[in-house]
Structure 1
Amino acid sequence: MKKIMIIGSPGSGKSTLARHLSELLHIPAYHMDSIFWQPGWVPIKRKKLVEETKKLMEKDTWIIDGNYSATMDIRLKEADTIIFLHFSTMRCLYGITKRRLQYHKQTRPDLAAGCPEKLDWEFFQWVRKFNKRKAPHIYELLTNYPDKQQIIFKNRSQLQKFLQDSS
């Protein structure tokens, strides 16, 4: 595992896992959210997101968390390991609610400065619908990469066991 891609619903713990694996494997972690969002929650242009992602792909090792369909294929092609956190909708809704409370009026470590944590109805609905609308497409994409190590976690217990076994 030298080039690790972590995907899954918001609130599943992608960024937390990226930080843990970074410490464990001594591989730098990058967060797509911190690339995409500029201060004040201003998104960068798609072309710039693709350019920045391609720069990361040139590195010898990396852990990148985030979905972002504009760069999904680029990362899937370059990754040697793909981790999909496919947790229940309730678990992910809990995750986004918990982090909203934890980082109230603060910026999370995996975001660019000037992006204080927020939770609006639109984002809540996006997370609520992720497993029905987005997860099937992710599984479809994964079938195109049978040569890649694919690790799919369905719950936190599986993930915790993996982390314990990797220590």
Structure 2
Amino acid sequence: MASPSCDAPRGRPVRRIVVLGSPGSGKTAFCHRLAVTTALPLYHLDDLYWSPGWSRPGEREWDRRIRALCALPRWIADGNYAGSAEPRARAADLVVLLDRHPLLCAAALVRRSLRLRRSAQGTEARGTPPRGGPGRRRTARGTARGTEYVPRRLRDSGDPPVLSLTALLRKALLFRRRDLVVIHDVLRRTGAPVRRCRTRRQAAALLTELGGPGPYPPPWEEDRTAGHQDAGPVAGPPPGGPPPHETGGRSARTTVTPCTCPGSATAPSLWRST
């Protein structure tokens, strides 16, 4: 597997980036910053996967959503979902693997859970009405989460932001022994260019590299040459257009929606190189 010091692909623009890593590794904060520095649309896999009540899509529907994402000409894909990692890695120009120490990831998960809880308690104390009006169901944890990422459908429906902190901690502590083994196999099979970042400093340096001038043209120039590389129908709007809206019921074409969470409004300071 590629080392953290390997060069990002320079022969062609980086239009599709997969970001993988343990829960608590900082994937989402990294992706928000990456979206700002590269002007690429960001797609959280949790947004595509989870529905209100923490319900899961069927296998066929999930496969359709992943294929719809991979067919788009430009994206950042935030999330593991190891079972669907191979098509994303094959479509990607670059795979970023955030491989922080499991104990650091677990500590970050606990801190995030405490922040979400404090935010919810502050909302309850102020008596802020739940999102969507007085008829919307309120959960025990409240609905205001500041700029913390919560899957879109769960955020809009007022579901608890964390299904099980214990499960997330277990996943973080066992990530290198379980998920990372599967991810390594996928990356070896696909031969995708990989940048592995073990520290925040390495991740910050990569952000600077990918967002800097040089061989990476502006997005409006990238899209002029994307047609011959991205054959087949595109599930979504043309770059620069309005985000697609998901439709109910069965549809001949699945659409996916870019990030709309509060954290996307500003570039998080977590990955600043200072």
Q: TM-score, normalised by structure 1?
A: 0.90
1:110-121 alignment runs, 5 A limit: 110-112=150-152, 113=155, 114=157, 115-118=159-162, 119-121=164-166
1:76-155 alignment runs, 5 A limit: 76-104=89-117, 105=141, 106=143, 108-112=148-152, 113=155, 114=157, 115-118=159-162, 119-146=164-191, 148-155=192-199
The answer as to whether partners of 2:19 and 2:79 remain within 8 angstroms in 1 is yes
Deviation sequence 1:86-138 (CA, Å, 0-9, x none): 11001110121122122223454351223432243233212211112221222
2:70 aligned with 1:67: no
Could you tell me which of 203, 206, 211 is aligned with 1:159?
Answer: 203
How far apart are the structure 2 equivalents of 1:92 and 1:138?
18
The answer as to whether partners of 1:89 and 1:128 remain within 8 angstroms in 2 is yes
Residue aligned with 1:122, SS: helix
How far apart are the structure 1 equivalents of 2:92 and 2:73?
11
The answer as to whether partners of 1:93 and 1:124 remain within 8 angstroms in 2 is yes
Consecutive unaligned residues of structure 2, counting only runs of 5 or more, are 1-13, 118-140, 213-274
Identity %: 23
Larger relative strand fraction: 1
How far apart are the structure 2 equivalents of 1:86 and 1:8?
6
Count of matched residue positions in the alignment of Structure 1 and Structure 2: 166
Across the aligned residues of Structure 1 and Structure 2, the Cα RMSD in angstroms comes to 1.7
The answer as to whether partners of 1:36 and 1:49 remain within 8 angstroms in 2 is yes
The answer as to whether partners of 2:150 and 2:161 remain within 8 angstroms in 1 is no
Greater Rg by CA: 2
Residue aligned with 1:63, SS: strand
Consecutive unaligned residues of structure 1, counting only runs of 5 or more, are none
1:163 is displaced (CA, Å) by: 2.2
1:39 is displaced (CA, Å) by: 1.5
Residue aligned with 2:189, SS: coil
The answer as to whether partners of 1:46 and 1:70 remain within 8 angstroms in 2 is no
Q: TM-score, normalised by structure 2?
A: 0.57
Partner of 2:137: none
